[in-house]
Amino acid sequence: MIAIIDYDMGNLRSVQKGFERAGHRCIVTRNPKDISNATHVVLPGVGAFKDCMDNLKNYGLVEPILNAIKSGKPFLGICLGLQLLFSEGEEFGIHKGLDVIKGRVVRFSPELRTPNSELLKIPHMGWNDIKIEKRPPALTDIADGSYFYFVHSYYVVPKDDGVIATKTNYGVEFVSSIWKGNIFACQFHPEKSQKLGLKILKNFGDIS
């Protein structure tokens, strides 16, 4: 059973439907017992970094998340669920994250431009491709250069390049997913990325 963590931030139902379409059973929950009993845990998220951290604390979810990661069960972070794993984020000031992955979450420069010198819009929104640096189980049968759906104004900067799974270019090359042990977390939205996104969700659910 896959537990999708509910902390009032994010498109939980679309993530749930994505897993169901990929053939996996899942529940949306904020019950620590459900998270502890789950075989896989998913941390989605849409919104502001500080608000999300505040909600995790207020619902008593920080410890269950850290325990799930320490237990070695497969853990998936999506969008803000990737960013929250990092040490700190700079959205509306400097705020502490879960500090599972050492590094920062920083904002895209407002001066980003295309190769033709056209100003790029922030947030980065829409389809973009990934460059695979190393292939975690979740990216099994996902071709280098595949396109996924993004919506974000901030991106992660890990201290250790060894955790980088994929990179993407949007005026600057940024880390679009990480892999460390039982953790795979992506900036893009698999649940909004059609066939290939569902393949990632299936791959993740298939990890034993």
Which pLDDT tens digit goes with each residue over 15-26? 999 999 999 999
Q: Check pLDDT > 80 for residue 150.
A: yes
Q: Which residues contact 154 (CB under 8 A, 6 or more apart)?
A: 49, 83, 89, 90, 91, 105, 106, 107, 108
Q: Which residues contact 184 (CB under 8 A, 6 or more apart)?
A: 74, 75, 76, 77, 136, 137, 138, 139, 165, 177, 178, 204
DSSP H or E stretch at residue 51: helix 49-58
Structure tokens at 173: 């090359």
d(CA 104, CA 64): 22
**Torsion angle of alpha carbons 189, 191, 196, 198, nearest 10°?**
150
As a whole-number percent, the residues of the chain with pLDDT over 90 amount to: 91
Phi, psi of 148 (to 5 degrees): -135, 165
Q: 160 falls in which pLDDT band (50, 70, 90)?
A: very high
Nearest alpha carbon to residue 196 among 141, 137, 151, 131 = 141
Average pLDDT over residues 37-62: 94
As a whole-number percent, the residues of the chain with pLDDT over 70 amount to: 100
Q: 173 falls in which pLDDT band (50, 70, 90)?
A: very high
How many independent structural domains does the chain possess?
1
Chain segment 69-121, per-residue pLDDT in tens: 999 999 999 999 999 999 999 988 899 999 999 999 999 999 999 888 899 99
Neighbours of 118 (CB within 10 A): 10
Active site residues: 79, 189, 191
Rounded to 5 degrees, what angle do the CA atoms 90, 92, 95 make? 50
Q: Coil, helix or strand for 39?
A: coil
d(CA 167, CA 195): 20
Q: 49 falls in which pLDDT band (50, 70, 90)?
A: very high
Q: Domain containing 75: what range?
A: 2-206
d(CA 20, CA 153): 29
CATH number for the domain harbouring residue 57:
3.40.50.880
Q: At what angle do helices 12-21 and 194-206 cross, to 10 degrees?
A: 80
Q: Check pLDDT > 80 for residue 175.
A: yes
